[in-house]
Amino acid sequence: MYKVLLVDDEALIREAISENIRWEDMGFQLMASCENGREAMDVIRQNMPDLVLTDICMPYVDGIELARYVYENCPDTRTIIISGYDEFEYAKQAVRYQVMEYILKPITPAELTEILVRARERLDEIHAKKQTLRKLKGAYQVNRPLLRGRFLNSLLRGDENPESLQEKMEELEISLPGTVFNTAVLEGDDLTPFLQQYTGVREELARFSIYNITQELIEQKQQGVVFQNMGGQTVIIFYGETREELEERENRALAEVRETVKELLHIETSVGLGTETTDLNKLYHSCEKAKAALELKWLLGGSQVIRPGMLDARRSTSVDVAHWADRVLFCVKGGDEGEIDKTVRAFAQELREMRINRNRAIIYMQNLLLTVVNTADLTEEQETEILKDERKLMNRLYTYERLRDMSTDIIAICCSIARLLNEQKDSYGKKQAMKALEYIDQNYMNSDVNLNSVCSHLAMSTSYFSTMFKTHTGETFIEALTRKRMEKARYLLEHTSKRAYEVAEEVGFADPHYFSVSFKKATGQTPTEYAKEKRRK
């Protein structure tokens, strides 16, 4: 509802207008009626109307004076004059004071209603424009940090025109006093501890929280300017009068920021620091160094301030991946998971020392894993199982924040291969042990049966067969052979009338005396004593 103030010195006219106009139906509320301009001014000062409907000729303060007062003191209020004077001078003054309508008496309720309808439409337009302007101003204030960040991002890309730099900084209220400058790029190493504290929270909130804390700590103490880059990282522009002051400010501020973020958000942070410059237009060189330094987090690990000097390191034209793959494969085939871990991490350390960039390091890790998988002599079924894990890892490779984490996954797959190879050996060993036991069952009566004969039969070396047979049966081959022969000898001595030397020959002993010694060792009795005892029953 628009508020209307009616001003006329004739009571009958005020009453007629008040009662004959359907104010609310047209979106108006008649807030008061006054008999002269002075009274109207008092009302206006207390409660600002949207529309003043006034006569011209009134005592104390006439309608023109009232229109002037409204024009000078109430920019959001509009005036309609109802006059009995058709004079050009009045109309000219009315135009000067931006009177909305100049109406001549007499006027009917229908005519006034029509004028009020037009007035409401004009007020709607004015209100809409005000709302739009208010929204634009509000949007500008809301988006000021965005505009500020956009400008600073442009500055650190080297895209800003040096001639308009200071003007834009003043417009966005960016202050960088000093003669020497530097940049730092800060990010959280692992956002999980923060995200686990709140349900449904996205990573963007964690990154914004890091930025918010950093901005508050640094800008309130006037140590620098803080904003977020397009990747959500927090960027700091430090300033100082001397290099010594700048360095001391950087160290103090970054230590406080990292400690506060850890305390409040439970997030460890890493910082890439750039190189100093005395020219704001060349600040992008410093930012490039800061980004390059932060990228080393992938190699060096997080939770530290990485300085430009750490970019320099031992370099080589290439990495001997085949050599490292052979070393890892040797550990895999040996089933030594501890050595697998040690060797893969040693390979990763060489990549760190050589400052291999992220993409190339990923390629080296891929080649290492592919070589191990392809030369591990897995069965087709086992290879299919491993390749599923390998494909998943290959898809994850470019998502890792640290080489250490990638190494951990590579180690896990290599250990899985080692376990599969061990299972393969176990399965093969069990089969061979069963064949050896079958060989004993079928040939125990042959005195020529021994370790060499069974190894020849199975096409295995004696040392490997001995270890494998002992592992899967719990006894040596000779112990298994002797046990079988003793079982058969006891049966023959108990259920036949054969003599001891005949039994010895039948169960594979060429020397009856040796048979007797072996039998007594196994049963505690000589063959003759055993036979007498069993045959009497």
Return the CATH number at 493: 1.10.10.60
Mean pLDDT calculated for residue range 376-401? 68
Mean pLDDT calculated for residue range 359-377? 83
What tokens does 65 get? 């004076």
Examine the fold and report which residue of 374, 394, 425 is the final residue of a domain before the chain moves on.
Answer: 425
Residues 304 and 325 in one domain: no
Looking at residue 181, its pLDDT comes to 94
Residues 306 and 354 in one domain: no
Secondary structure (DSSP) of 480-507: HHHHHHHHHHHHHHHHS---HHHHHHHT
0.85 exceeded by the pTM?
no
pLDDT band at 296 (very low <50, low <70, confident <90, very high): confident
Residues 194 and 307 in one domain: yes
More confident position, 517 or 96? 517
Looking at residue 334, its pLDDT comes to 82
Report H helices in 196-240. Answer: 203-220
Task: Give, for 431, the enclosing helix (H) or strand (E).
Answer: helix 403-443
Look at residue 127 and tell me whether its pLDDT is greater than 90: no
Looking at residue 140, its pLDDT comes to 52
Taking Cα atoms as reference points, which of 153, 313, 115, 346 lies closest to residue 233?
A: 153
Q: Is residue 86 part of a domain?
A: yes
**Domain housing 23:** 2-129
Looking at residue 87, its pLDDT comes to 62
CB 368 within 8 A of CB 325: yes
CA distances to 328, 330, 369, 372 from 365, in Å: 12, 17, 6, 11
Residues 175 and 273 in one domain: yes
Looking at residue 86, its pLDDT comes to 64
Looking at residue 183, its pLDDT comes to 94
The sign of the torsion formed by the CA atoms of 341, 343, 346, 347 equals negative
Residues 278 and 349 in one domain: no
Query: pLDDT tens digits for 4-47?
Result: 999 998 888 888 888 888 999 889 999 999 988 999 999 999 99
Taking Cα atoms as reference points, which of 245, 227, 248 lies closest to residue 178?
A: 245
CA 414, CA 432: separation in Å to the nearest integer?
27
Residues 198 and 268 in one domain: yes
Report phi then psi at 78, rounded to 5.
Answer: -115, 155
Q: State how many domains the chain has.
A: 4
Rg of the chain over CA atoms, in angstroms? 48
Three-state secondary structure call for residue 7: strand
Report phi then psi at 9, rounded to 5.
Answer: -80, -10
Examine the fold and report which residue of 257, 277, 311 is the final residue of a domain before the chain moves on.
Answer: 311
CB 15 within 8 A of CB 74: no
Looking at residue 311, its pLDDT comes to 61
**Residue whose entry in the numeric block shows the structure tokens 């005195």:** 447
Q: Is residue 155 part of a domain?
A: no
Looking at residue 314, its pLDDT comes to 52
Amino acid letter at 429?
Answer: G
Residues 167 and 93 in one domain: no
Look at residue 251 and tell me whether its pLDDT is greater than 90: yes
Cβ atoms within 10 Å, residue 216: 13
CB 274 within 8 A of CB 289: yes
What tokens does 10 get? 């004739």
- Give 304's Cβ-side CA count (13 Å radius): 14
Look at residue 138 and tell me whether its pLDDT is greater than 70: no
pLDDT above 90 covers a percentage of the chain that reads: 23
Mean pLDDT calculated for residue range 513-528? 88
pLDDT band at 90 (very low <50, low <70, confident <90, very high): low
CB 390 within 8 A of CB 413: yes
Taking Cα atoms as reference points, which of 382, 409, 407, 381 lies closest to residue 393?
A: 409
More confident position, 169 or 345? 345
Examine the fold and report which residue of 291, 311, 331 is the final residue of a domain before the chain moves on.
Answer: 311
**Residue whose entry in the numeric block shows the structure tokens 């390979």:** 347
Looking at residue 428, its pLDDT comes to 64
User: CA torsion angle for 348, 352, 358, 361 (degrees, to 10)?
Assistant: -40
Residues 455 and 524 in one domain: yes
Mean pLDDT calculated for residue range 325-333? 88
Residues 331 and 415 in one domain: yes
CB 356 within 8 A of CB 364: yes
Three-state secondary structure call for residue 201: coil
CA 29, CA 450: separation in Å to the nearest integer?
119
CATH number, domain of 248, equals: 3.30.70.270
Mean pLDDT calculated for residue range 333-345? 89
Residues 301 and 355 in one domain: no
What value does the mean pLDDT of the chain take? 84
Query: pLDDT tens digits for 431-487?
Result: 777 888 888 888 888 888 888 888 888 888 888 788 878 877 888 888 888 888 988
pLDDT band at 207 (very low <50, low <70, confident <90, very high): very high
